[in-house]
Structure 1
Amino acid sequence: MILQKIQNFIIQETEFLQNPELILDYIEHPKEKAGTYLYSSTNYVILGLIIQKATGKNPNILFNEYFYEPLELSDIFLAPQDEINYDSISHPHVYPNTDFNLTGDGVTPIDLLDILKPLSYLVGKASWTSGGMISNADTISKWGYELYSDQGNAISQAIRNQLYKSIIDVNADKSEIYGYGIRKLFYDEFEFTGSYGRSAGSENLLFYNKAYDTSFCILSNCNMKANKSPNIDELLFWLFECVKF
């Protein structure tokens, strides 16, 4: 009976992941009252649906035409719609030290559905145009350079200026500020522009430093927020120290 429940659950979740409209039901805080704001990935999915409706093409195809091919980027997939070559990318796994604890006391039955259900929400939050781009560290780092550097060709300089201007101060101590899907992170006298990605079994970052005109990418198949140490920011700063010297 338990195995059948799990099989039915997996089939159900697989079906919703193939349908962007259904993904909206699996994102925390999918909608709020007019005039209010709460951080959510909902609008990224909606923008993807608008693009698909306006062009008659899947965003996967458009991304390839407008970005991947012109920038000579390969091995990028938009999960979960693309057929993924797992030999060419970094990918997460559910690690024992993530938020999901599969250990029990040996007596009390573990309800696997209660464990798997939050996973579906995390996957929904990071699916399709709400953050489903997956690849390897080299490719993601190059993408970051093409996006954030003045020498990059992913977007025009006018659009890049708008992207940077969107970043607003949200912390009084200036430790971190956030904008249109990007944020600034500070280390000593240096600042980095980029963002994080996090789901069950993974934690990643892509940041760019203007002073060194260099992008930095870390893809980890464990969730260091749950593990506490090392913090993924510390890994970025250690990497940056290597570049400095």
Structure 2
Amino acid sequence: MKHRILVILTVLLLTGTAGCRRGEQAQQKEVRLGTQQATLSAAQTKPAPFPAETANKLQQMLSGKVESMKLPGAVLYLSTSEGNWMGVAGKADLAAQTPLKPTDRFRLGTLTEMFVAIVCLQLAEEDVLDLDASITNWLPADLSQQILNSEKITVRQLLNHTSGLLEPEREAFWETVRADPSRQWKPQEVLAYLLNDAAAAEDRPPSSLNDFSYSHANYILLGMIIERATGSPLSRVIRSRISDRLNLKNTFLEQQEEIPGGFVQGYADWDKDGAMQSVTKPLINPAIGLGDTGMISSAPDLVQLFRGLFLDNALLYETSVEKMLTLVDSDEGGYGLGIARLPTAWGEGWGQINQTTGFSMVALYLPVHDLMLIAWTNTSDRNTEPVYEIARRSLRIILGMP
């Protein structure tokens, strides 16, 4: 499997007062949070419907794409100020012929980075983390010694992928994973492999500090830093600081938490024999899932996450959101702290297109249209083309031709 972040985002300029005292801001956030939890819970159970004609077009499109592209299944969730629509087509389990549900859980892939970045910014608000301090303040000495320029690399540079760490050649790593698919990797084991493999890639140009160069190692290191700073496992930190605040009942970190009821079957050509196989039962460990990937969630939970971050200020102060949206240049159009930018045909938006073991997804927020879109399929073969096409066609149906 190839992890490649494909982002469909662009910057949203947020303005507002930022001069309140910390105590006043915290009090205001508590009030907003209580209101938001009630609002989101009600919205999730009783979404306002789209007009029947629009809903029928969306369902016909979704069912048609699943059939014509021969996908196991697909989920589409659209939320606007005028209404919500959740649609589904296909199967959650091909062997058991279990129908897919719009509230089913799936692997988020690199959207996990948004969760990690939010936690880092919260810790910065509390003066626990200094985003511009060296990562050597938080990492074990033996690990710091393995990282080129570690004393010069800051937490912020890990967050926006300007640390200079290279992304290793992925196929060699996945051959190692295929040889022992149930192995439970520890962060330092994965990092040792990634750092050694990247350092040995003499045929690739080196990356330098302050230049964007995507690497899973950045967010694995951030996961370790969060655990060191809080004294708690990453899963527990994300749950207390994000999931519990937003009432996310279907959001978990796969390698660190029990997942009651599990999640749907994801499919891929794991053995490279031309046939799709389940890569979730028995569990095939995606190995990289330690802050860089690894989150499990549902489409309704992700809509709540976007609302909490962008609309309700339930997770971060406005000044922190501005930091999150401060971009460095990247091939895809700009990357912030755990989030990236690209224009869409319907205006600028925030979100990601990515694939991970067994799943592909689009998560998109279009502020100019007050629209949130979550689309996912339970296959990681054929890259992200099918789920991107589903998202594009759904936007055309509800927003018209750009």
Identify which of structures 1 and 2 has the higher relative contact order when contacts are C-alpha pairs closer than 8 Å and 6+ apart. Answer: 2
Once residues 394 and 313 of structure 2 are traced to their aligned partners in structure 1, the CA distance between those partners, rounded to angstroms, is 22
Aligned-residue offset at 1:90: 4.3
* Amino acid of the structure 2 residue aligned with 1:138: P
Distance 1:132 1:169, change over 3 A: same
In structure 1, the gaps of 5 or more residues are 1-5, 105-118
Structure 1 segment 38-49 matched on structure 2, within 5 A: 38-49=213-224
Size of the aligned set, in residue pairs, is 208
TM-score (normalizing by structure 2): 0.45
Cα separation, 2, equivalents of 1:91 and 1:156 = 37
CA–CA distance in structure 2, aligned partners of residues 67 and 229 of structure 1: 30
Q: 1:111-134 CA distances to partner (integer Å, 9 max, x unpaired)?
A: xxxxxxxx87xx233x02112111
Deviations 1:33-62 (A, max 9, x none): 783564211121111111112221111111
Q: Does 1:237 find its partner at 2:392?
A: yes
Structure with greater Cα Rg: 2
Residue identity matched to 1:239: S
Cα distance in 1 for residues equivalent to 2:303 and 2:365 = 9
Query: Matches of 2:372 and 2:271 in 1, distance apart?
Result: 32
Deviations 1:138-184 (A, max 9, x none): 1122212322x243422221111111122x4435xxx7433333222
User: Which residue in the other structure is 1:107 paired with?
Assistant: none
Shift of 1:91: 5.1
- Across the aligned residues of Structure 1 and Structure 2, the Cα RMSD in angstroms comes to 3.2
- C-alpha change, 1:199 and 1:92, in structure 2 (3 Å) is same
Secondary structure of residue in 1 paired with 2:291? helix
Kept in 2: contact 1:218–1:236 (CA 8 A): yes
Give distance in 1, aligned partners of 2:264 and 2:321.
Answer: 28
The reply to whether residue 165 of structure 1 matches residue 335 of structure 2 is no
CA contact (8 A) 2:267 2:379 kept: yes
Residue aligning to 1:23: 190
Percent identity over the alignment is 20
Task: Name stretches of at least 5 consecutive residues in structure 2 with no aligned partner.
Answer: 1-175, 200-205, 276-283
TM-score (norm 1): 0.70
| Contact kept? 1:92, 1:202, Cα under 8 Å | yes
Match of 2:208 among 35, 52, 61: 35
Q: CA 1:187/1:9 → structure 2, altered by over 3 Å: closer, same or farther?
A: closer
The answer (yes or no) to whether the contact 2:252–2:259 under 8 Å persists in 1 is yes
Distance in 2 between residues matched to 1:156 and 1:224, nearest whole Å = 39
